[in-house]
Structures are given as C-alpha cells and as structure tokens.
C-alpha cells in the first residue's frame, strides 16, 4: 500500500460531480460498495506490516468518513435541485386526473331506491350477520321445514337454538322494521346477502338485493301490482309491461314471480329473453298473516305486500351484461364503461 493510493482517491472524491440520484448511487457503489475503491484499500490494509498499519490506519478511516460525507452532500444537493425545479415549474399545467365511476351495482341500487322514494318509501337497513329467528323463523320458515333448503346458508355459529348466520335475504330487515315501527310501514331494504352457491355466469355466493314492504289497512294485491308496474316503467321505460306468474314463498301468500317485457326486442323475442319476450325481475306477494302476527301486527286489521329483486339481475337487464362475475372482479376495463352512466 502506498500513500499515493489514498491521495488518488481523495482527488477523485474532490473532483466528483453528479446530476441525478442515480449518479449519486453509482458514486457510492464506486467508492464504498463491496468492490469499491475504498473497500479495496481496506482489504489491502489487512496485509501490510504491523508497523505500516499505524501509518495508513488513520488516513484510511479519514478517507472513508470523507467519502461518506461527500456522498451525503451530493444526495442532499440533488434533493435541493429537485425541489428548486418543482418551485420553478409551478406555472406548468398539471398532469390530467382521470375520474373514476361508481360501481354499476351502486348505480342501480341508488336508482331503485330513488324510484321508491318518489313513491313515499323510506330506506331501512340491518346487520349482515343475523340470527336464525329474523332470517327464517319470523318469516314463516319452521325448523326443519323443506322451504329452508331453498336458500343454502352460511352459518357463523351452528348448533345453537338461534344460530348466527350470514343473511340469505334482506327480508330480515323487514322483520326488524315490523318489530320496531308502527303501522303504516312503507320501506325498501337494500343490502348485501350471502348464499352457499357455486359461482357461475348466472349465480354468485355474494349478491345484492332490494326488498320492499308496505303494510296498512286495506292493502290488496292490486296495490302490489300497481306499485311494481310503476317501478318497472320508471326503471325500464314507459312502454314496459309486466306479467305475474304464481309462485311460492313461505312469507307471502299468494305469491308471484314478476316478468317485464323485454326492453331489447320489445316483446318480439331475442337471445336476451330467450325468445319469450319476457324477463324475470323479482318475486312478490301478500305478507302471510303468520309473519304479521310474529312481529306483533294484528293481521285481522292490517295487510301488506312485499317484494324482492336482485340488484345484479336488474343491472344485467339494464346494460345487457351476460356474466354476473363481472360485477365482482374489479376489472377496470369493465368498470370504466360506466363512467358516463351517472354524474361523478
């Protein structure tokens, strides 16, 4: 080892100039990296005679400290230059910010709720983790009744007289509303629900519903039909027609499935409606007297109707989306298609 080797590195450090952070890093590696010049001098220092160590030890340590200080000084100068550049460029146009959009399910949910608000309905919400009583028993699902098999359930705590579960429908919100509010009751209940189903283009284990409930004196099936007809024409257009097919639900009697005239082919038949000219949108019916009595409402004085629809189903019909999974995959290419659906 020679004194000239140390002085040479000192001269290189003093002459060092950089313009970017990348160049600062290159300089650090060049002098202080594992294979850097100063590191090589320390490796060589290990082999010198004991008497020479006193001569070169202190200068080498000073050199390393000087190199570290120089690198830090250069790094700070780059930061200051960058900050100064930002201050000088404040008058330049900024980067364009692309606005996102609301999720199509949220768009349709809000549209449905707004329609029924115009009809005088309030919005009611409830817990997603519910008990068996509010999801099934209070809605006329007796224990071990075959009707419970209509909805394959995710249980949170099974084996309990009133086990907790992920609600399979927002009808549980209707029960809680009937328990806490006085008649007349006119509410819609939007929310997320869960069923243990295989995920496919037509089904998912998570989806969203909007259910409605109207209870008062003298409510009839004709009132139910008129409410659904008004909703369908608000949602799908003034020429929309509806038809009702007999069905079964434990909590309503009589019960019906509701179809709307296809807004794509206008009843002529297409691949969306499978050539029938009709599209199914919801189930409905008159609230069963047992359900009213279970919530403390006198079924001899009051009557009511209920309905429920899947939000994804309405969105599929509204925008002709043929695969339910698109709503849950967060694919930005799909979501950007709805950026003009509403004002953001």
User: Where in the chain are the domains?
Assistant: 3-88, 104-338
Mean pLDDT of 273-281: 84
Ranges 79-83, 123-127, 176-180, 295-299: which has the least confidence: 79-83
pLDDT for position 11: 84
Which pLDDT score, from 0 to 100, does residue 89 have? 65
**pLDDT (tens digit per residue) in 96-142:** 777 777 899 999 999 999 999 999 999 999 999 999 999 999 998 87
Examine the pLDDT at 86 and tell me if it is beyond 60. no
pTM check: above 0.85: no
Residue 187 has pLDDT above 90, yes or no: yes
d(CA 284, CA 248): 9
pLDDT given for residue 124 in this prediction: 96
Residue with tokens 């009133």: 162
Please name the residues in contact with 24: beta carbons below 8 A apart, sequence gap of 6 or more: 18, 71, 74, 75, 78
pLDDT at residue number 344: 36
CATH code for the structural domain at 104-338: 3.30.930.10
pLDDT recorded at residue 341: 61
User: Looking at the predicted structure, is the pLDDT value of residue 317 above 90?
Assistant: no
Highest mean pLDDT among 157-161, 198-202, 235-239, 273-277: 235-239
DSSP 59-119: HHHHHHHHHHHHHHHHHHHHHHHHHHHHHHTTTSPPPPPPP----HHHHHHHHHHHHHHHT
Give the burial string for 121-147 (b: 16+ CB within 10 Å, else e).
Answer: beebebeeebbbbbbbbbbbbeeeeee
Q: Does the structure show a pLDDT above 50 at 190?
A: yes
Q: Is the pLDDT of residue 233 over 90?
A: yes
Average pLDDT of every residue of the chain: 86
Tokens of 132: 């068996």
Ramachandran bin of 291, using left for φ above 0, alpha for ψ from -120 to 50, beta for the remaining angles: alpha
Rounded-to-integer distance, Cα 319 and Cα 27, Å: 59
């Amino acid at each position: 080892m020679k004194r000239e080797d140390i002085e040479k590195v000192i001269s290189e450090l003093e002459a060092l100039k950089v313009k970017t952070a990348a160049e600062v890093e290159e300089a650090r590696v060049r002098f202080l990296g594992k294979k850097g010049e100063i590191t090589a001098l320390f490796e060589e220092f290990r082999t010198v005679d004991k008497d020479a160590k006193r001569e070169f030890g202190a200068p080498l340590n000073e050199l390393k400290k000087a190199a570290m200080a120089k690198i830090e000084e250069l790094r700070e100068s780059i930061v200051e230059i960058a900050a100064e550049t930002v201050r000088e460029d404040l008058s330049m146009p900024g980067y364009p910010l692309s606005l996102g959009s609301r999720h199509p399910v949220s768009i349709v949910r809000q549209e449905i709720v707004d329609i029924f608000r115009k009809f005088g309905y309030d919005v009611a919400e409830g817990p997603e983790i519910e008990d068996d009583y509010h999801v099934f028993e209070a809605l006329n699902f007796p224990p071990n009744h075959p009707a419970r098999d209509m909805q394959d359930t995710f249980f949170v705590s099974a084996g309990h007289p009133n086990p907790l579960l992920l609600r399979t429908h927002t009808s549980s919100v209707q029960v809680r509303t009937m328990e806490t509010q006085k008649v007349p009751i006119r509410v819609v209940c939007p929310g997320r629900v869960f069923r243990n189903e295989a995920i496919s283009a037509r089904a998912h284990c998570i989806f969203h519903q909007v259910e409605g409930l109207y209870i008062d004196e003298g409510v009839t099936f004709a009132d139910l039909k008129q409410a659904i007809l008004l909703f369908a024409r608000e949602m799908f257009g003034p020429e929309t027609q509806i038809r009702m097919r007999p069905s079964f639900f434990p909590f309503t009697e009589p019960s019906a499935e509701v179809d709307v005239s296809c807004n794509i082919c206008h009843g002529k038949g297409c691949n969306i409606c499978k050539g029938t000219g009709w599209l199914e949108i919801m189930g409905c019916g008159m609230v069963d007297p047992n359900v009213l009595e279970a919530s403390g409402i006198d079924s001899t004085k009051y009557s009511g109707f209920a309905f429920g629809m899947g939000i994804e189903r309405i969105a599929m019909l509204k925008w002709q989306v043929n695969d339910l999974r698109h709503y849950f995959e967060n694919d930005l290419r799909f979501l950007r298609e709805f950026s003009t659906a509403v004002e953001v």
